[in-house]
Chains A and B, each alone.
Chain A
Amino acid sequence: MIGGLFIYNHKGEVLISRVYRDDIGRNAVDAFRVNVIHARQQVRSPVTNIARTSFFHVKRSNIWLAAVTKQNVNAAMVFEFLYKMCDVMTAYFGKISEENIKNNFVLIYELLDEILDFGYPQNSETGALKTFITQQGIKSQTKEEQSQITSQVTGQIGWRREGIKYRRNELFLDVLESVNLLMSPQGQVLSAHVSGRVVMKSYLSGMPECKFGMNDKIVIEKQGKGTADETGKSGKQSIAIDDCTFHQCVRLSKFDSERSISFIPPDGEFELMRYRTTKDIILPFRVIPLVREVGRTKLEVKVVIKSNFKPSLLAQKIEVRIPTPLNTSGVQVICMKGKAKYKASENAIVWKIKRMAGMKESQISAEIELLPTNDKKKWARPPISMNFEVPFAPSGLKVRYLKVFEPKLNYSDHDVIKWSSSTFREHLPGPSTQIDRPCGSSGSRLSCLCSVTTHAATEVQNQGTSTIKLLFCWCLTTCIIS
């Protein structure tokens, strides 16, 4: 198991060092600094073996976190733990920086003591930890409170404490998608997949039991057998999900047998699930770059973007980022729409368009002056990237319903029926509802926010013959108010 845990600043000075096992000596601290942090070469592996001691490291801004061991530990677990550790620290004191770590070192040691015992990770859910490790000092707890804490930390629902109360019960749901697209130089799509995340913010009282449904092909087909008319309604609306992973609050065995997603949510923000689809992906934009080298000191770039969705829909806040070579001395830009600027500090031309309807086209052309250079270091030719917001999901995923059920129904200042009717409204229209359109029902607020990011990678050297990698990200927020 993990023998010790060190946190270094960018200079390699130790900020936190906690040794759990006897086989890890003080020299391990220096070994990592000398061999990894101060190593001349770029880091070639996140796992380093120095003198039979293995170091696992992750880097957050300029802080290094290293776990050390001499045994054959579960490597995946160590990395998961390090990420978790970062999450916990972020949840407690914000950004992981040298200053924050120094200011909170007592807290960090306290946390390390709690979440890692003899190198074995223990409960590391922030929600639970915050009940008994606080920054304000411990208030004296009653016996009941104490046992409640311990039962929560060790219990089956370690991620949520009991007795949470909200005046307004709210639940926000975001679907964030990013499309990964690989195109051949001829513009043919080699492979495309969407990786999506469903993120929730829950502010609900008590121990609510939630059930989440989406237009998963398997579920729809299963139901379709029972009621034939429903398939007619849903039409092409179902999507085939290749694979999905869930937050630990989701009952996996239930998903495995019934394919229903039921859970008791943690309090606050969390990632409910991730999914991946490869079929029938809608690409909102096409980016066509043309790059021509004119001599050794000049580069002509032309980028065309085409919106590829219904004319009635609007894409907003479009931002295209075209990287320029390191030895750029000056840039002249002409664009038909929006504003474009060369930002020398970011080595990129940034082109912004406020909004653009579907099935439209726009282009930018730029002349880049280069300084003659004999610098041997090659330019890595980063991809062209693009960010925007559109009101649909490239994967076609739709949220069919989100039911909330609180067994004790103890929302003190709210009528039980009011609550349940609200959730009912949400899934009332059935599978055909598009939640990207506000329903505007009885005072409930339904906000909508979508964004899509596109990254297009291209080689600037050869004219347009290149691999283009596009990355879209789409996000949607909805909420239920009781």
Chain B
Amino acid sequence: MTVGKDVSALFPDVVNCMQTDNLELKKLVYLYLMNYAKSQPDMAIMAVNTFVKDCEDPNPLIRALAVRTMGCIRVDKITEYLCEPLRKCLKDEDPYVRKTAAVCVAKLHDINAQLVEDQGFLDTLKDLISDSNPMVVANAVAALSEIAESHPSSNLLDLNPQSINKLLTALNECTEWGQIFILDCLANYMPKDDREAQSICERVTPRLSHANSAVVLSAVKVLMKFMEMLSKDLDYYGTLLKKLAPPLVTLLSAEPELQYVALRNINLIVQKRPEILKHEMKVFFVKYNDPIYVKLEKLDIMIRLASQANIAQVLAELKEYATEVDVDFVRKAVRAIGRCAIKVEQSAERCVSTLLDLIQTKVNYVVQEAIVVIKDIFRKYPNKYESVIATLCENLDSLDEPEARAAMIWIVGEYAERIDNADELLESFLEGFHDESTQVQLQLLTAIVKLFLKKPTETQELVQQVLSLATQDSDNPDLRDRGYIYWRLLSTDPVAAKEVVLAEKPLISEETDLIEPTLLDELICYIGTLASVYHKPPSAFVEGSRGVVHKSLPPRTGSSESAESPEAAPSAGQAAEQPAVIPAQGDLLGDLLNLDLGPPVSGPPLAASSVQMGAVDLLGGGLDSLMGGSGFTAPGPAAPAGMGAPLGSGLGDLFDLTGGVGTLSGSYVAPKTVWLPAMKAKGLEISGTFSRQVDSISMDLVLTNKALQVMSDFAIQFNRNSFGLAPAAPLQVHAPLAPNQSVEISLPLNTVGSVMKMDPLNNLQVAVKNNIDVFYFSTLYPLHILFVEDGKMERQMFLATWKDIPNENEAQFQIKDCSLNADAVSSKLQGSNIFTIAKRNVEGQDMLYQSLKLTNGIWVLAELRIQPSNPSFTVRPSPCCPPLSVAPCPSACPPWGCSSRGQPPQQCC
């Protein structure tokens, strides 16, 4: 506006103009203030008075203008003055002022979140949801949604059937933009059962006829999400599916930019529910005047919708596209023909002949693209279309792109026995070996080795040449490595080489480009937004905390168990995130192990302080997870406790356990948590927990296959860890795991593996392999699985040891909300191999003296003080130093000697 000139120097003069009656001038002054207040915060104060005055102007337009502008001035001093006028405006009699004030709360929250909470604006904002004016409701919803996004846990928008009802009523009355806000907000709601979901769907469906595409897409989002909860046999489910198709098709007659957004979303919808648009193939045919981005997206969807029924039409179209002008589009069209061949088996032959026709056009990039896709077709249908190789070879010279050259070389190598002059062809490539890209070089190396294995007599010279080129003259490590491997294979065991190099290849799968199912589900929750345009979760492109909350579809429910769904979904979300959370407090637990981890022989005694820390931690980690149950939704290895409260709540849980776990069946077992989410492991999901049964530790795993292909050949390995945990037997999955199947396995563990200090102490890094890939994850195991059964120390020994413990090895914790008596505690702890050595009563308090022993022979002594009247326990663990003689595991113990101190938890009140 100022042609880039800085006019902040005029600030005082402009502010003087503020008190004008001319509304237009006032607006301009306000605009100036918004732009320059930040650079002149002191002077901006001068404007406050006028703002406050304007907020009480009889003209509602001016009141709203003042409150709107004030919110845009991001100067701390001004925000203080904003609170009072804002409060008044939120209760203004005029809806125009109220709707402006509602947005202003969001502005203020962006500047100073604390202030908004302290001033109680959030509650006022919530009240506005019940306002009589639909636009006020819409803006309040928008503001609340935004605030809630930056406080994922705050439960600000706690939607219940009543408030949903209000929103649905407002939906019919407010502006198109308001409808979008409300629909987007509705999409975050989790109906409590399928009946509620259906009734919301019924009230949202009329929005599908709105002229505003954004309203339509947001309505589609709500429907797609809630449909998940409807049973498929329901009549309504079918009706809804039918109702969804026409509006989606209509979106394609909107402006091109919107078409693009719509097509990106349709791409997701087609993957999630192919049945919706399966008859609508024709509308995705490309129009002459579509912009290129629309054309490319349409092409993508055409391939997804291709089926046996419509393949003829699709192929005819694709062939047309292959003669268009835009190079990218043509390439994609050619590629699409190949994908059709792979997807629809019956059409493969026609696709191949179409591709051959295209090769005849001799248009350079068409030919190259065709060769790349024909290679894929060979992989899918081996020994079927090899007759075309001759045609391909004719075009050998025109190939100049690495991908096409690599594909051609692959074909020559793979079918070397059928091509008479394969050696000549490959030799011709070899001449410029060093000028080729890596892709081509690697392919050429492999192809010549294949050729050699098939026709060893004539090609020995060639193979030697390529091997020396690859190993001696190349700087590329990949190429060199591969060269050496082949060389060694060939020189030591040609039979093995044959088995390796000419091994039968797995068929390529149909849809390599499908979005991974868990990501797809998440993206469905973001229909209409940027995430759905990029096909990436918001965390991939949004900075900071906003939008990082994972959204998930409601779990599909039958009619009976639907009641559980709302809770199930959020907790699943939580669980999914857990494995990634590796606690930062490494120094704590870590240090206990530090003890053992020094070089075995020379291990220096630890500094006292670190021992203490370690002790505390051991207790933290161990006991914490022992308790499980009450406090956390997902206990287990979740939170490695710090020193204070978390530990307390942990111990508390141990005592709290309802069913007397301790007395009966061995130690407490945490519920299974997801260690490896499917998203990170190409569809393999692993969840599990650790348990200890008499003298044996086991890892209980559930492997779930969420990918589209069968998984087999599972194996597991642990990294070296603090206590030498290692699998005692190989991972046995008897049958291959079919898609959507899961299997439960209990893997016995022992503690004879090699030891390395981990950070945190109880961290375990695991590698799982299957036929697809190797995946890594790390998890925290509860320490109590390491408490051995013979952890009961003799009384005398206990006494002697107790006295010897230096003070600095002591630590102390409080456990709150624990209402068990001494005996119950004692028996419960015994279940987890924590033994009571003595008990006494001092001043009305029960004192328990406990001992436990870890698998590596470290003793831990503890004193618990329990006060019956007060349900809260204090634990003061003082680490004890077990005499060397007590440690029954000589091989492991000596190095730690005096440094190995466990910590006795002490309870006191």
Contacts and interface: CB of A to CB of B under 8 A. Distances in A.
Contacts of B210: 245-246, 248, 252
A245 B135 contact: no
Contacts of B59: 141, 143, 146
A147 interface: yes
Interface in B505-558: 526, 528-534, 538, 541-543, 546-547
A229 interface: no
Interface in B240-254: 246-247, 249-250, 253
Contacts of A81: 177
| Residue among A46, A47, A151, A467 with the highest chain B CB neighbour number at 10 A | A46
B100 A117 contact: yes
Given A146-B60, A184-B316, A76 B250 contact: no
A150 B95 contact: yes
A45 interface: yes
B134 interface: yes
Nearest to B28: A106
A247 B64 CA distance: 28
Contacts of A132: 61
A54 interface: yes
Contact of B27 (A110, A117, A147): A110
Given A113-B31, A248-B212, A76 B205 contact: no
Interface stretch (B102-110, B824-832, B872-880): B102-110
A1 interface: yes
Contacts of A69: 530
A158 B24 contact: no
B688 to A, nearest CB: 33
B260 interface: yes
Contact of B257 (A20, A46, A109, A383): A46
A79 interface: yes
B213 interface: yes
Interface string A90-113: 000000000000000110011001
B313 interface: yes
Contacts of B283: 191, 193
Given A74-B214, A79-B257, A156-B134, A109 B31 contact: yes
Contacts of A154: 95-96, 99, 133, 135-136
A158 B133 CA distance: 12
A478 interface: no
Contacts of B261: 47, 75-76, 79
Contacts of A141: 59
Interface string B27-68: 110010000000000000000000000000011110010001
| Residue among B172, B261, B283, B293 with the highest chain A CB neighbour number at 10 A | B261
| Residue among A17, A117, A255 with the highest chain B CB neighbour number at 10 A | A117
A469 B288 contact: yes
Contacts of A282: none
Nearest to B134: A156
B529 A252 contact: no
A124 interface: yes
B426 interface: no
A76 B246 contact: no
Interface string A150-165: 1101111010000000
B709 interface: no
A325 to B, nearest CB: 13
B285 interface: yes
Nearest to A242: B246
Interface string A367-409: 0000000000011111100000000000000000000000000
A448 B456 CA distance: 85
Interface in B134-186: 134-136, 139, 142, 146, 172-177, 180-181, 184
B68 A45 contact: no
A424 interface: no
Contacts, number: 246
A191 to B, nearest CB: 4
Contacts of A121: 177
A357 interface: no
Nearest to B249: A243
A117 B253 CA distance: 29
B70 to A, nearest CB: 12
A117 B173 CA distance: 20
A413 interface: no
A247 B211 contact: yes
A243 B246 contact: yes
A445 to B, nearest CB: 30
Contact of B175 (A20, A184, A248, A271): A248
B209 A245 contact: yes
B287 interface: yes
A246 B72 CA distance: 35
Contacts of A150: 60-61, 64, 94-97
A137 B24 contact: yes
Secondary structure of the B side of the interface?
helix
Contacts of B256: 46
B532 A246 contact: no
A271 to B, nearest CB: 7
A120 B173 contact: no
A307 interface: no
Interface string A36-52: 00000011111101001
Contacts of A191: 282-283, 285
Interface string A181-202: 0101000001101010000000
A77 B528 contact: yes
Nearest to A128: B175
A350 interface: no
Nearest to B62: A146
A109 B1 contact: yes
A72 B539 CA distance: 9
Contact of B532 (A71, A75, A244): A75
A317 interface: no
A180 B285 CA distance: 11
A56 interface: yes
Nearest to A151: B95
B846 to A, nearest CB: 56
A274 interface: yes
Contacts of B316: 184
B214 A76 contact: yes
A81 B27 CA distance: 22
Contacts of B23: 138
A255 B211 CA distance: 14
B207 to A, nearest CB: 7
Given A42-B292, A117-B103, A150-B61, A54 B27 contact: no
Interface string B288-303: 1001110000000000
B177 A120 contact: yes
B235 interface: no
Given A74-B184, A120-B177, A147-B60, A49 B541 contact: yes
A155 B260 contact: no
Contacts of B213: 76, 79-80
A80 B534 contact: no
A457 B288 contact: yes
Contact of B103 (A120, A125, A143): A120
A106 B27 CA distance: 9
Contact of A72 (B21, B258, B531): B531
A161 to B, nearest CB: 14
B255 interface: yes
A276 interface: yes
Contacts of A248: 175-176, 210-212
19 contacts: A52-B541, A52-B543, A74-B184, A76-B216, A76-B528, A79-B214, A79-B257, A109-B1, A110-B24, A120-B177, A122-B99, A138-B23, A146-B61, A149-B96, A184-B316, A190-B282, A245-B247, A245-B250, A469-B288
Given A124-B175, A252-B210, 11 more contacts: A17-B1, A46-B260, A52-B542, A54-B541, A76-B258, A79-B257, A109-B28, A118-B104, A140-B21, A191-B282, A248-B176
**Would you list the 6 A-B pairs with minimal beta carbon distance, nearest first?**
A243-B246, A150-B96, A76-B214, A256-B206, A77-B214, A191-B282
